Structure formats: C-alpha cells, structure tokens
Amino acid sequence: MQNYKNYQSVIELLKNTSKLLDLNRKSSLHQDILAVCNYLNNPNFRIAVFGPFNHGKSTLLNAMLGSKTLPIDLIPSTGAAITVRYGSDIRTRIMLANGSEIHRSGTDILKQFAILDQNRRMRDDVASVEVFYPHSFLETGIEFLDLPGTNDREAQDNLVREQLLSADLVVQLLDARKLMTLGERENLRDWLLDRGIKTVIFVANFINLLEPEEQKEVQNRLRFVAESFRAELPSGFSNLYRVDALPALRARLKGDVAAANISGLVEFETALQNIALILKQNNQAVSKPRVQALAFKLQTALKDKISPIQHEVQKINDKNNAANEIKRKAADLIQQGFSASTTKLRQWLSLANLREKYQGDAAIALAQDNFSDWEQQNLKKDLQPLQQAVAKWLYQAYDFFQNERPEDLLIPFPKHPQVTLPPRNTNSGDLSEPGSLAVGSGIGWVLGGPLGAAVLGSISYLVNKNIQKQDEKSSKESYHQQVATLCLDAVDEYLSEFSRQGLSILAECDRKSERVIKFVENSDSLDIIQKRQELQKWQSCLIDLNKQLESYFSISIPNEFKVEIETPKNQQFVYRSQGVGVKEDVGTKRVVEVQNKATATQAQEPQTQAKISTNNTNSASQSHARNTYSKRSNFDVIDANFRNWEIDQEIAKMKAEMGASGYQKRQQQNTNTSNQTSSQQPQKQIDIEKRNRAYKLLGLPNNASIDAIKQAYRKLVKQWHPDLFVSNPQQLKQAQEKMHLINDAYNLLTDGH
C-alpha cells in the first residue's frame, strides 16, 4: 500500500503551485497536476488498460474477472473511466457532476451511464464510475481501470491522458492485425514515457485470428516493439504478452482451464500479480519518474516567471548601482574638498597664526583709533574667502544629494579691544629712552604729539623683539612702552577670543556637515518593491518545490532550478541565483551570484551585472536544452529506428498497391535499373548533380537523412499516386511521369540503405 499520507504536503504544494501559476483548468499541465495528486493520494495499486478503441480492453478485463462485468460490444462502447475495486458483492456506484451518487446492485447500470451515446459521445454529467467485485486479486489492494478507447474522439483522448497518470501499471493493448500504429507510438511517447509513466506492459490481442505464417511475422515484430520500448519493470519479467481476449473470456465463463492457458491469459495474470506485488513494495520506483517529469514542467514554468522579473530587477539594480557609484565618488570628492577648506580655515584661525599675522598691525590700528577699518580691510577680507570655500562644498553637497540644507558658516568678530591708559609721568626724558622710534609725522593718537609716535614705535619694537613674552622685564618701562604693551595685550585677548569662537563654530560646522555631505541610496520605488516581492514569491515557490522533491523522492535538482533568497539588513530583498556570475558588494545592498560547478574552475574577468544576467539566461537555456536532449535522446534513437522500420513497411505496401494500377512493372524496371547502376558503380562515383536534383525533387536539402528521405517519399507517393487520377487521363499521365521521377530520386538516394 502506498504511503500516501506522507505525500500530503507534496499534494498541497503541487495544487498551490498550480493556483499560483494561474493555470487554465483545461490545460494539460493543470490536469497532470490533479492526476498526480490523485495518484499520490490513492492507497491502492491501480492497473490501467490502455489502447485505441475496439482493441478488446474491456473484454480482457472481463476475462481476468471471470465474468461479463464490464460492457463490451462490437463497436466502441466504453464512455467513462471505470474503476474496478474489491467488494464483497457486485455493485456499482456512479458519481454525478452535481455531487449526487447513484448506487445499484450489479453492473447493468453501466449501460446507462458508462457507454457512449448514439453520437458516440461520453456523458458530461458523470464524474466517476466505480464497480465493486469480489475477486481475490482485487482484495490485495489492487484495482483495475478500464479506459475509453483512444483515436476516436478528442474528449475521450483527453480523459484517457489524464487518467493514465493515476495508474501504477499500464497495460497497453495492441491489435496484432495492425501492430503499433503511428498514433499508438505517439501516445506511448507523449502520454506515457515523456510523463514518467515507465511501468508499461504490452499485450497483443487477436493473434488467434491470423494465419500461422502471419503469426510468426507478428511475433517477430512484437519482439521488436518490446525491445524498442523497454519499460522499467522488475528484473526477470517480460514486458510483452499474448492474450486472445475473447477466447480467454469464453474459457473463463465455461471454466475451461486448458483453453484459458492456450489463450495466454493464465501466463499474463501470473506475471501481472507478481509484478504488482513487487512494485507495491517499492512504490517510489513507480511514483518518482512521473513526479520528476511533472516537477520539471513546473520548475520550467516557475523559472519562466522568475527569469524576466529577475532580469528586470537586475537591470534596475545595475542602473541604481551606476547612479550610486557616481554619487559615492561625488561624496568622496566633496568630502575631500570640504576637509581641505576646513583645514585651511582651521589653520588660519589658530591663535599662533593670528598673532603672527595680525597682532602688530591690529595693535597699531588700535593705538591709532582705527581698529574698525583695520578689522574690515584686513581680518574680514582674509576670513571671507576661507568661509566661502567651506560653504561652497556644503552647498554643492546639498545640490547633489538633497539632504539637510546647510547653515551659513558665520564667524563673528569679538568686541573691539579696550585700553585703559596708566597714569602718565611728565618726565621729558621718556622720549629719549632706548628703543623708542619715531615713525614719522602725521600719525596722531589720543596722547598726541611726539608721545603718540613713540607709542607706535614701541609697539613695532615690542612686536619685533617679542619683549612682552620675555620672562624677565626691565624693572622700569617707559610710559609709551607701557601703553604699547597694553595695546598688544588687548589685541591678543581679542585674537584669542576670535580664534576660540571661530574654531568652535568650525567644529560645529564640521559635525553638521556629516548630515549634508552624506551619500544615501535612494529608497526603492513602489514598482521595484513590488517586483522584488513578486520575484520572492516565485523563488520561494520554486525553493519549496525543490525541497519537497529532494526530501520525499530524493530527486536531485539541476543547477538551473536552484535559487536562494537573501534578505539584507535593510529588509530589502536581494536575490542570489545559481549560475554564471561574480560576487559584488555595493553599500548595504548586495547582489550575489554563485558560480555553478561547470564554471567554478574557470578564471573569469569581471563583468557588468547586465552582462552576467544575460549569461545566466543563456546558460539556463543551454542547460535546459541539454537536459531535454538527455532525457529524450535514448528514446529518440530507438524511436528513429522504429520509424525507419515502419516507413520501410509502408513504402513496401505502397509499391505493392501501385501494381493494381498497372504501375508495378514500370516501378520494378526503375528499381532494377537503379540496382544495376548501384552494383556497377561504387557510391563515390555517383554523379553529384543527379543526387542534388534528386534531393530537390523530393523537396529536401542536400545530405538529408534517410529518415527524412523516406518521409518525403511517403508524402509524395500519397500526393501523386496514379490511382488518384484514374478519372482524368491527362492528370493520370502527369502523375505517372511525376511518380517515375520520384521513384528514380528515391532509389538513387536510398541505394545501399
């Protein structure tokens, strides 16, 4: 019994994925999801009988049950998928589309609800049909599924295709009289193998209706079919059996064991029971391939959703990163300029610099009662360009980053210095003391006359000699020296206050500049946030699907379907995708792309993110193509071989039919002529121009494959067969001439094959 309870999370995820993808309810992918979910949720082991209409499917099941339980007729009759389960008595349950149920004893009600109507259409009001039957094989947890015939109506084909995914073992019934038609092979590939349904058994019916010689030929062809389409069955079991269904049913109804043996039924039943027992014990051997095939389609659908959004988000990220890089460089340059200008202003404001550059002139201006003019014409004149240089960088930062508006850098001047004159000694000898220096006439001071000139001279002397800084002063200073010292001290106090206050204001400006010269990445727009959220939604779904596949079915995930979601500190979603790429850190946002194993050992030059995204897309496409080819290549080789064999048979049949129109003789002559030419000349001596004309006549490129040549020939024969124009002599002649050229071309190009 399947561990179906363990698959509930898988079933829920598959259904949610279908809902998220908003699949059309009538789409094949949506129907496949529902079928696989029903399959995983079914505790019984289901055996489905599958094949075109009128192949004897219901007859075979009736023979196995030993009664005419299921409706059978000479014309296609089964119009619903009929599930046969174990029951203590024979009864039928019909589930209608409106939710109501119909219960009846026996199976007569099937003729009303489970067969095709007069227009050979299925009833659209029937949801499911179940038959309960007391059979020992069914009692072990086995159930049969009788399907409508294929190749009849599209609605029936769709129903059969959906139901096949819910079967653990498929019995494909073949008609020995027209063995393995093109439609049957296409269904085998498209409906079974490509969908991961690989537990398939072929049963040939109607061999008893063939002549002994024909039976031998059919047996050979059957072996070819079995070898070409070998299913994944337990070792030691064949995938090909012969059962004459109608004789087998008659034998069972009569209780004729010998006749049942001759019909092949007993051998088939024995093998079927043993295969079912083994597969039931190893359920994942059955479920894993079909889940993997379905998952590949879902992974591809999710990746198709992810890739364009991821590319668009990446494109926006690249654009933002480029803009941010420009802003980052601008911030560095502005910060460098601002730092240089503040350093220059800070050095200018240092007390030592102010004393050296301005103290003497300021003291003289003070002594001359001209300090305001000096302040404007010297100190302010030198300060303004330094302040403007600092402010220039701040306003440039504001214009560029639009952060906090800067405040004007204003360094005010202190109050003008005040000097209180000491008591004045009237000794006239003051003017002649050493160190006094007259600076010329025209300079006056409040002291007036020669004394004022002496004071100015002493200021210059004291500044030059730096007498005021000497540790030892003369015990006796002249009056004008005392006044000069007072002026210098007053200016020094003024400059000290100016330096202290200016440096403090500059420090505050420097601190506030961090809010002005600040590179802040632009906030994401609502559009990009929504795109990232949508991308996260699809990637999360793919991640969950991958985890379930690995956890429950040990299915390895191809690199192209591996994705990771990274959430940075700022809570803006940044995504990391497995594939070709490089790792780049940008601010607080990071775009990480991990190299896959195929390129991990190859040195790569740095690339732009846009180029990396393109490479990822191309790599994914190539990987998808490689995986698809790998998945189908083995089957395609076998399929090509079988196609060639079938075309050969069909061409031989066409040529035989041509004999009925009197054309066989001419065709045979052409073949003999071609064979003679072929035997006389080696392949390398065949005229190239003739071969080129032959390819052109068949509508093929030069050096087309043998398979293509046969396909083209078959198509042209059906188009120009002389029998199609018997009622029109003129067209008949044209068709005969055309067929002559076609046959010559075909024989020339297929000689030796």
Domain ranges of the chain: 44-282, 350-516, 662-750
Partnered with residue 566 across adjacent β-strands are 574
pLDDT higher than 90, residue 296 = yes
Cα 100 to the chain's mean position, in Å? 44
Q: Which residue has the higher pLDDT, 32 or 580?
A: 32
pLDDT at 722 exceeding the cut of 80: no
Residues 654, 660, 666, 668: is their CA dihedral positive or negative? positive
Pick the CATH number of 44-282 from 3.40.50.300, 3.30.1360.10, 3.30.420.40, 3.30.70.141: 3.40.50.300
The confidence band for 619, taking pLDDT boundaries of 50, 70 and 90, is very low
Residue 169 CB partners (closer than 8 Å, separation 6+) = 45, 46, 47, 48, 199, 200, 201, 272, 275, 276, 279, 286
**351-367 vs 449-465: helix axis angle to the nearest 10?**
170
The DSSP call for residue 439 is -
DSSP state of 554: -
The yes-or-no verdict on residue 624 having pLDDT over 50 is: no
Percent of residues, the chain, with pLDDT higher than 70: 73
* Per-residue model confidence (pLDDT) at position 367: 85
Could you tell me if 389 and 341 are in contact, meaning their C-beta atoms sit under 8 angstroms apart? yes
Return the DSSP state at 380. Answer: I
pLDDT at 460: 65
Is it the case that residue 586 has pLDDT exceeding 80?
A: no
| DSSP result, 23-52 | --TTSHHHHHHHHHHHHHT--SEEEEEE-B
**Of residues 744 and 389, more confidently modeled:** 389
Q: 662-750: CATH homologous superfamily?
A: DnaJ domain (1.10.287.110)
Where does residue 127 rank: exposed (0-12), middle (13-18), buried (19+ CB within 10 A)?
Answer: middle
Residue 17: enclosing H or E segment and its boundaries?
Answer: helix 8-20
The Cα 543–Cα 20 span in angstroms is 14
Closest of 284, 435, 452, 285 to residue 368, by C-alpha: 452
Asked whether the beta carbons of 565 and 532 are under 8 A apart, the reply is no
Do 74 and 116 touch, CB atoms closer than 8 A? no
Q: Do the beta carbons of residue 243 and residue 265 sit within 8 Å? A: yes
DSSP 476-515: ---HHHHHHHHHHHHHHHHHHHHHHHHHHHHHHHHHHHHH
pLDDT for res 4: 45
Q: Which of 69-83, 345-359, 408-422 is predicted with the least confidence, judged by mean pLDDT?
A: 69-83
| Distance from C-alpha of 59 to C-alpha of 55, rounded to nearest angstrom | 9
Question: How would residue 604 be classed by pLDDT, with cut points 50, 70 and 90?
Answer: very low
pLDDT at position 74, please?
43
Global confidence as pTM: 0.57
The 10s digit of each residue's pLDDT in 384-433 is 999 999 999 999 889 888 888 898 899 999 999 988 877 766 554 444 44
Average pLDDT taken over every residue of the chain: 77
Do residues 462 and 481 make contact, with C-beta atoms less than 8 angstroms apart? yes
The confidence band for 686, taking pLDDT boundaries of 50, 70 and 90, is low
- Band of pLDDT at residue 740, cut at 50, 70 and 90: confident
Higher pLDDT pick, 468 / 235: 235
pLDDT of residue 259: 93
Compute the average pLDDT of residues 209-234: 83
pLDDT digits (tens, 9 = 90+) for 452-472: 555 666 666 666 655 444 444
What is the predicted pLDDT for the residue at 712? 87
Q: Which of 74-83, 156-165, 675-684 has the highest mean pLDDT?
A: 156-165
Instruction: Between 568 and 407, name the one with better pLDDT.
Output: 407
Distance of CA 61 to the CA centre of its chain: 46
- Residue 15, helix vs strand vs coil: helix
Helices and strands per DSSP (H, E), number in the chain = 23, 13
